Structure 1
Amino acid sequence: MYGGIPEDEYSAVSELVSAGAHVSFNYMYDFVHGKVFVIDNETVILGSINPTYYGFEHDLGIDLVINNASIARVFAQVILSDYYNETVSQVGYPGIVVSPINSAKYLGALLNQPGTLYVAFEELYPSSGFYGLIQQHSERVVLVGEHSENDYAVGKLGAVMIPGLTAKAIVVGNYVYVGSINLDYTSLHQNRELGIIIQNPVVADEVRNTILQWYHEYSSTQKGQIGGITQSLVTMLLLIVTLLLLLYIVRSTIRPRRRRR
């Protein structure tokens, strides 16, 4: 295990060490942001879900469970290199996405694939350099987290803000990306991030349906809120007009008549 935690949670490290875990802190990147478990060098669990109460019970995240020893060993090698603060310059397995090594290249190529695009990212900022690739998909569903920096994505890409969204996922056709990498410069080029791109129609359908479910739930909520606000404004305007009309009538009634000369 390796990574970074707030100082007030160092007691958790002591508990892990007491339980037999080997803990190391990596100082080579701005953030160690990957979320990957390798089990018995045969199974990989990876994605955006943090192993915390909020990560499991409240956040909207996506993880994949992959039973593939070859993939498991590649992720284990990256984790061990980071554990010992050793530099990893390349990843030899196609589709395994690692920031800052190849994530910009892999995700850019995926976004350049033709077809309807489904995207869910906690952070989708202009600094990623990917807005143009997303805009070339005339048919797209784009979800972003509830952060002010995502206002650009709402305005430029038609994104819908989703409270509690932590997912990082792309679906185009039968291609799927799931991981920890956000679409911003820091995540692509300065953090240690881990993800994977696979071609699998079943997984693509599952992730696509999840994104669409969130989209329909929260877009309808937002429309309902906007409709409610609009109705309230109309009611307020009618009241103001009515009051002004009543004032006019009252003033006209009590105004003294001019004498004839």
Structure 2
Amino acid sequence: GVDVKVMMEKSPVGADSENWDVKTKLMHYGIPVKWANPEYFLTHAKFMVIDGKEAMVLTGNFTHSFMHKNREFGIIVKDAAKVEAIKEIFEKDWNRETLTENSNPEIVLSPIDGREKIINLLNSATSTIDIWQQSVQDDEVIETLKAKIAEGVTVRIIIPSLYRASGNSTAVGELGTNSIRSLLDPYIHAKLVIIDKKSTYIGSNNFTATSLDQNRELGVITDDPEILNTLNMLFEIEWEQTIDPYDS
């Protein structure tokens, strides 16, 4: 008796037809399914709202790779204001209504304010920036990170191998192999930023112009100490396992 609604990207990158089969199966079981709002280049957000009381925001798609092969993250959101904001985003997109503003400062929503909030978050760092990121290609992001390095901020970015994500080559050249390194396994599909070891962004935004400016993307900023302790510990472990991207 649970009311379930599913909204999916019609033609996700690398899997143009797979969601058609999923849509058919879900509708066979009486589950309402809509293609994502065509207002956006892609709907790349990955989230769900449960009973209107909590939300789960993810870096990964609902795929076998997400469950078994990739480095991914998710956060369970219970703060009522954040959950209500995320619910409104879903309902607006479901009803094909344009959402013109995002009033919650800890919700990152592209194309409305994703670029602004992520750049501001990076600029807020005073000591360290640690990042897991599949794609580091946006010029403003790269220039912001370069500027933070010049200020003396320690920047460390874990990316996939250049063999599997060659679009990151410019970032490697600009930021240097002391700051940006590759992890071969698991595959880095995550999109996560840790600032000064005290706050974190977890969400769907890749660091590309399309993701920041054209897609429907969703992320959350939190300073929850328990979450940060776990993330900081894992980052140190995985940073020690990275290699020079040019060797990957």
TM range (shorter): 0.7 to 0.9
Structure 1: which amino acid aligns with 2:183? I
TM-superposed deviation, 1:12: 1.2
Q: Quick one: which amino acid aligns to residue 52 of structure 2?
A: N
Q: Is the 8 A contact 1:120 1:144 kept in 2?
A: yes
Runs of 4 or more consecutive aligned structure 1 residues displaced over 6 Å after TM superposition? none
Q: Which amino acid aligns with 2:142?
A: Y
Range 107-116 or range 209-218, more displaced: 209-218
- In structure 1, the residue matched to 2:75 is 64
After superposition, what is the alpha-carbon deviation per residue over 1:177-203, rounded to whole angstroms, capped at 9, x for unaligned? 000001111000000000011122322
Alpha-carbon distance in 1 for matches of 2:121, 2:212: 14
Task: Give the conservation status (yes or no) of the 8 Å contact 1:168–1:181.
Answer: yes
Which residue, 6, 17, 23 being the options, matches 1:7?
A: 17
- Decide which of 208, 217, 220 is 2:241's aligned counterpart: 217
SS at match of 1:217: coil
Q: What letter corresponds to residue 199 of structure 1 in structure 2?
A: D
Pick from 199, 203, 227 the counterpart of residue 223 of structure 2.
199
After superposition, the Cα gap between the structure-2 partners of 1:34 and 1:8, relative to the gap in structure 1 and judged at 3 Å, is closer
What is the one-letter code of the residue matched to 2:155? R
| Residue equivalent to 2:87 | 76
Aligned to 1:24, the other structure's residue is in SS state strand
- What's 2:214 paired with? 190
SS at match of 1:195: strand
Aligned length: 222
Match of 2:51 among 37, 40, 45: 40
Determine which of 126, 129, 133 is the counterpart of 1:121: 133
List per-residue Cα deviations over 1:66-90 (Å, max 9, x = no partner): 2223211211110111112211110
Percent identical among aligned pairs is 22
Alpha carbons of structure 1 residues 70 and 21: separation in structure 2 relative to 1, 3 Å: farther
For the Cα contact (< 8 Å) 2:49–2:87, is it kept in 1? yes
2:172 corresponds to which of 140, 154, 159: 154
Paired residues of 1:100 and 1:191 also in contact (CA < 8 A): yes
Q: In the alignment, which residue of structure 2 is the partner of 1:141?
A: 156
Alpha-carbon spacing, 1:126–1:14, altered in 2? closer, same or farther (3 Å): closer
For 2:234, the aligned partner's letter is T
1:38-94 CA distance string (max 9 Å, x none): 111111111212111111100111111122232112111101111122111101112
> Given that residues 60 and 72 in structure 2 are in contact (C-alpha distance below 8 angstroms), is that contact kept between their aligned partners in structure 1?
yes
Q: What is residue 237 of structure 1 aligned with on the other side?
A: none
Q: Given that residues 9 and 19 in structure 2 are in contact (C-alpha distance below 8 angstroms), is that contact kept between their aligned partners in structure 1?
A: no
Contact 2:191/2:204 (<8 A) preserved: yes
Aligned equivalent of 1:169: 192
Root-mean-square deviation (CA, aligned residues, Å) is 1.9
Give the number of the structure with larger relative contact order, counting CA–CA contacts within 8 Å between residues 6 or more apart: 2
Change (3 A) 1:123 1:90: same
Task: Looking at secondary structure, tell me which structure has more strand per residue.
Answer: 2
Please report how far the alpha carbon of residue 162 of structure 1 lies from its aligned counterpart in structure 2 after TM superposition: 2.7
Output the CA distance in 1 between the equivalents of 2:69 and 2:80.
Answer: 31
- The answer on whether the counterparts of 1:154 and 1:161 sit within 8 Å (CA) in structure 2 is no
In the aligned structure 2, how far is the partner of 1:67 from the partner of 1:176?
A: 16
